[in-house]
Structure 1
Amino acid sequence: MQTQQPKLSFWQIWNVSFGFLGVQFGFALQNANVSRILSDLGADLHSLSLFWLVAPVMGLIVQPIVGSASDRTWNRLGRRRPFILVGAVAAAIGMLLMPNAPLFVAFMVPMLFGALMLALMDASFNVCFQPFRSLVSDMVPPSQRNIGYSVQALLINIGAVIGSILPFVLTNVVGLDNTARVGEVAPSVVWAFYLGATVLLGSVIWTVIRTREYSPKEYYHYKGVDAETVEQEHGQKLSPSQRLKAFFNLITTMPKTMAQLAVVQFFSWFALFIMWVYTMPAITQHIWNVDKKWFDPAYIATVAAVPENIIAAKGAAGDWVGILFAAYSVFAAIFSVFLAKLADRFGRKLIYSLSLALGGMSYISFMFFQDLTPVDVNLLITQVTVPAGAVNLLLPMLGVGIAWAAILAMPYAMLAGALPPNKTGVYMGIFNFTVAIPQIIAGLFSGLILSTVFDNEAKYIIVVAGLSMIVGAIAVFFVKEPDHLPPPVVE
């Protein structure tokens, strides 16, 4: 048997991560439109962040469980692919049902149904995310790790671009309506979710069909692990308390690199959560000049009807959020092409830190782009009239995109070399704590900060996100990368 793990061709690396394009397509639709959907269904600004808590909580619960299970799974489909496929099917179901929440009013309040479908989608996305991260670590040899995670970041951002702009395209090219009364969901958003579910399933099936995972014997041989020892470990019958103890032991004995990266992750994902939740109300207020009272359900309940110009402004701003999110994903996809070479030449830490710093400054710059002057914008697929400030916001999206590309690739490339090969899945799942916990904290406190400190002026909470990202950039320099692969963990 070949002693060194074989290198993969570019297209083999591409196929390993291709399903992530569809997963991120769905995730981007969620990020750009869930605040819009929940707001239309009756949520206020303070509660938006609480609804968004569903995503990190699901990640906190699901990813370690799936990671541990996928480490121990070997069947006809492989090790990681069964979980990827099941997660994609469940996510597609959630995507089909969530925008139809008003149809289920006979059974429950539409906003509650929407929250439940958000939970289903997030749980399912997380079932996909963790095995995809581990699949790259499994299949790509160490010498190709930078390019492996950079290709994954590229595909993630291609999916994010398409998913983010889809409602805008369906409105301005296809002609679907982008406005919604309170308690309804805009038709353009409904059909975007239908298409997203289709793309998600198709791309995941491509990866499942086109990628052949290593057999246990091959995998452990390439990773330098004694297969019999691992099989004996996996064959042990442990009680729930013993499993819980073993799990917490893994957390307390995590590689030092992982603990140091956790600090960087905290400030990075704290900032990202705020951006995803509050960009829509922030630009609606700051760029479209819609008064904050039109985001207050209590005030809206006191008026006979929401003025048509307010409904139109909210719809236009919601569509433009998709354009902005697509823009940062385009910039991230372009930067991903060069990211591996830059990291190889200048070092992962320097590129990672500079990327986060640029992202943080870009968030803060949101404050300086207000311009209410209407301008005509040619987007190639259509022409729209928006405030000049909305167009100006495309500039800071460049920095946000560079930061996003680095966040998707660099921590995992740095972490992969620090993990014992027989525990990659469970440690990747545990590493998701560093993604979920900062979002949970942001979800619990960002709405409170927005309402009590900033009086619901959402642009200021975006500045808080920028400051957080800059702190993350500083923390990168305290991360120490390992010089060699650690030995396998035997419990």
Structure 2
Amino acid sequence: MEKRRQSWLGLWNISFGFFGIQIGFALQNANMSRVFQTLGASMDDLPALWVAAPLTGLIVQPIIGHLSDRTWNRLGRRRPYFLTGAILAALALFVMPLSPTMGAPLLFAAAMLWVLDASLNVSMEPFRAFVGDMLRTDQHAAGYAVQTAFIGAGAVVGSIFPFLLEHLGVGNVAPDGGLPDTVRWSFWFGSAALLLAVLWTVFTTREYSPEEIASFAENSSAGDEQPVRALASKSYLSSAAWIAAGLVVVIAVGEFALEKEVLLLGALLAVYGLLSAIGIYLAKQGRTANMLSSIVGDFSGMPPVMKRLALVQFFSWSALFIMWINTTPVVTQYVFGSTDTASAAYNEGANWVNLLFTVYNGVAAVAALAILPWLSRAVGQVMTHSICLTLGALGFLMFFFVRDAQALLVAEVGIGIAWASILAMPYAILASNLPQAKLGIYMGLFNIFIVVPQLLVATAMGSLMKAFFPGEPVWTMLFAAAAWIVAAIAMLRVRAAV
């Protein structure tokens, strides 16, 4: 038995919910540094405040992936998760603008970012696997391209909200410690749009039943337990190495006076080592039917194509997180000449960042449907991704050298093409090269290589910048360019079946 071929309307319905999810991500990415700075955070505080976002993804996505592979109820297999996540994310977006009225506004905003990002991750991971579930292998590239187009379109809507509202006469400046009306209304509109878009996919799609999934040859469950059984043969040396690495990082914080956020990185390394040791112990005892052993076993037994793509993702997302944290400080300080969050110049620059983010997301939406399919047919998916990452690196270099607001729009074209490829090519390659019955857990584990570099940026970048480039955030853009060049080179080592 084979999956039915989806029409363009089917592809639309399957991915439309991601339009709303990306509105939420866009509002978060383009505005949270502005919110934190407005509520009194310094430039040095931003990485620590942002650390909630990748940390929640690191915890949530593998767990949700594991659970969604094993779920079936009245709503289906993946839909219960992205509906629950959407409801919680919509609530977080609605409450976020109320932060200035709370007793501890900065702490409240950071907590709401935590809730928002966790909820968006609960929705996002099943959506990645949902495309693979619903489509035949020969439609994976088209499916992820359509999903990328909706991601780009949703990000355009989310990013343009404050800029558009300002031009409609909504106030863009507020007293010290207050959020402008442009930001508040953007979050409220985004809350409604996110929930409605996800509800569209929930009500217009029908997932394959467990019996149908079992009948598809590509979803054969043979060998599903092999990674867990292989875990039983492993020694505890690798676990000890992770724990030792974590302790080294913790000691280094004291020895070299690093920022305290780096302690989190050391703690995560040590905790993973401990959890992997527990997983190995359970597997050796024959207790393989548990989440921890399954996740650790699947992580240690990743297919080769996933391991090589993991390196590409690590450097790709390091640059993206640098961009999301630092674009507002770079543009407001170097292009608009202000670091005063209550000034008109700063808020004009912050809104220009929303426009810049709108451009790169709009380019991504167009590139996903117009450039990527043509280029991948001409040179293959692997080379396509390498070329696109190189174009994005050139865009970051422009931020380092250029001081003209209009010229930065050109930089966003290259970044937008790279962003489209990051959202489509790795997932299309994975969906066609991984066991379909375990697509949820593998997509969740793949997210680790999105989250770890973000944690590294959030914990270590502050120490690096304070030590070598204090008060000069523009140097972060040079790090971002270098990261995408490394990712482009690493991509050439990927060998995929398609």
TM-score, normalisation: structure 2? 0.85
The equivalences for 1:124-273 within 5 A come to 124-173=119-168, 175-225=169-219, 242-273=290-321
Q: 1:163 to 1:243 in 2, by over 3 A?
A: closer
More divergent stretch after superposition (261-270 vs 360-369): 360-369
Match of 2:266 in 1: none
TM-fit CA distance, 1:239: 6.4
| Equivalent of 1:351 in 373, 384, 389 | 384
The equivalences for 1:90-489 within 5 A come to 90-105=88-103, 109-173=104-168, 175-225=169-219, 242-290=290-338, 294=340, 311-338=343-370, 339-370=372-403, 389-482=404-497
Asked if the contact 1:71–1:422 (Cα under 8 Å) also holds between the matched residues in 2, the reply is: yes
TM-fit CA distance, 1:242: 4.6
| Equivalent of 1:62 in 60, 63, 76 | 60
In the alignment, the residues of structure 2 paired with residue 63 and residue 206 of structure 1 have an alpha-carbon distance, to the nearest angstrom, of 23
In the alignment, the residues of structure 1 paired with residue 490 and residue 69 of structure 2 have an alpha-carbon distance, to the nearest angstrom, of 31
Residues 183-234 of structure 1, C-alpha deviations (whole Å, 9 max, x = no match): 2211110110000000000000000000111111112212444579989x9x
TM-fit CA distance, 1:460: 1.3
Aligned residues: 440
Amino acid at match of 1:217: E
Structure 2 portions without partners, runs of 5+: 228-282
Q: 1:311 to 1:223 in 2, by over 3 A?
A: farther
Asked if the contact 1:223–1:421 (Cα under 8 Å) also holds between the matched residues in 2, the reply is: no
Residues 15-53 of structure 1, C-alpha deviations (whole Å, 9 max, x = no match): 100000000011101100000000001111111011111
TM-fit CA distance, 1:369: 2.0
Amino acid at match of 1:22: G
TM-fit CA distance, 1:249: 1.2
Amino acid at match of 1:359: G
Asked if the contact 1:257–1:482 (Cα under 8 Å) also holds between the matched residues in 2, the reply is: no
SS at match of 1:357: helix
Structure 1 portions without partners, runs of 5+: 296-309, 371-388, 484-491
In the alignment, the residues of structure 2 paired with residue 428 and residue 367 of structure 1 have an alpha-carbon distance, to the nearest angstrom, of 34
Amino acid at match of 2:419: W
Match of 1:306 in 2: none
TM-fit CA distance, 1:241: 9.3
SS at match of 1:417: helix
Residues 97-143 of structure 1, C-alpha deviations (whole Å, 9 max, x = no match): 111112222xxx10000000000000000001100000000001111
TM-fit CA distance, 1:85: 0.4
TM-fit CA distance, 1:180: 2.8
Q: 1:160 to 1:225 in 2, by over 3 A?
A: closer
Residues 246-299 of structure 1, C-alpha deviations (whole Å, 9 max, x = no match): 321111110111110111011110000010000001011110122x5x47xxxx
Residues 455-478 of structure 1, C-alpha deviations (whole Å, 9 max, x = no match): 221111111111111111111001
- Identity, in percent, stands at 43
Amino acid at match of 1:345: A
Residues 292-314 of structure 1, C-alpha deviations (whole Å, 9 max, x = no match): 5x47xxxxxxxxxxxxxx61111
Match of 2:236 in 1: none
In the alignment, the residues of structure 2 paired with residue 394 and residue 225 of structure 1 have an alpha-carbon distance, to the nearest angstrom, of 44
Match of 2:14 in 1: 16
In the alignment, the residues of structure 1 paired with residue 221 and residue 45 of structure 2 have an alpha-carbon distance, to the nearest angstrom, of 50
TM-score, normalisation: structure 1? 0.86
Match of 1:298 in 2: none
CA RMSD of aligned residues (A): 2.1
Match of 1:380 in 2: none
In the alignment, the residues of structure 2 paired with residue 269 and residue 111 of structure 1 have an alpha-carbon distance, to the nearest angstrom, of 26
Amino acid at match of 2:411: P
In the alignment, the residues of structure 2 paired with residue 223 and residue 184 of structure 1 have an alpha-carbon distance, to the nearest angstrom, of 57
Q: 1:245 to 1:228 in 2, by over 3 A?
A: closer
In the alignment, the residues of structure 1 paired with residue 317 and residue 289 of structure 2 have an alpha-carbon distance, to the nearest angstrom, of 32
In the alignment, the residues of structure 2 paired with residue 181 and residue 466 of structure 1 have an alpha-carbon distance, to the nearest angstrom, of 36
SS at match of 2:171: coil
| Equivalent of 1:36 in 34, 37, 50 | 34
Q: 1:224 to 1:479 in 2, by over 3 A?
A: closer
The equivalences for 1:75-86 within 5 A come to 75-86=73-84
Amino acid at match of 1:196: G
In the alignment, the residues of structure 2 paired with residue 416 and residue 400 of structure 1 have an alpha-carbon distance, to the nearest angstrom, of 24
In the alignment, the residues of structure 2 paired with residue 61 and residue 228 of structure 1 have an alpha-carbon distance, to the nearest angstrom, of 28
Asked if the contact 1:332–1:402 (Cα under 8 Å) also holds between the matched residues in 2, the reply is: yes
Q: 1:224 to 1:349 in 2, by over 3 A?
A: closer
In the alignment, the residues of structure 2 paired with residue 228 and residue 463 of structure 1 have an alpha-carbon distance, to the nearest angstrom, of 47
Asked if the contact 1:180–1:311 (Cα under 8 Å) also holds between the matched residues in 2, the reply is: no
TM-fit CA distance, 1:354: 0.5
SS at match of 1:275: helix
Q: 1:229 to 1:272 in 2, by over 3 A?
A: closer
Residues 307-364 of structure 1, C-alpha deviations (whole Å, 9 max, x = no match): xxx6111110111110000000111111111212321332001110010011011101
Asked if the contact 1:168–1:322 (Cα under 8 Å) also holds between the matched residues in 2, the reply is: yes
In the alignment, the residues of structure 1 paired with residue 24 and residue 400 of structure 2 have an alpha-carbon distance, to the nearest angstrom, of 30
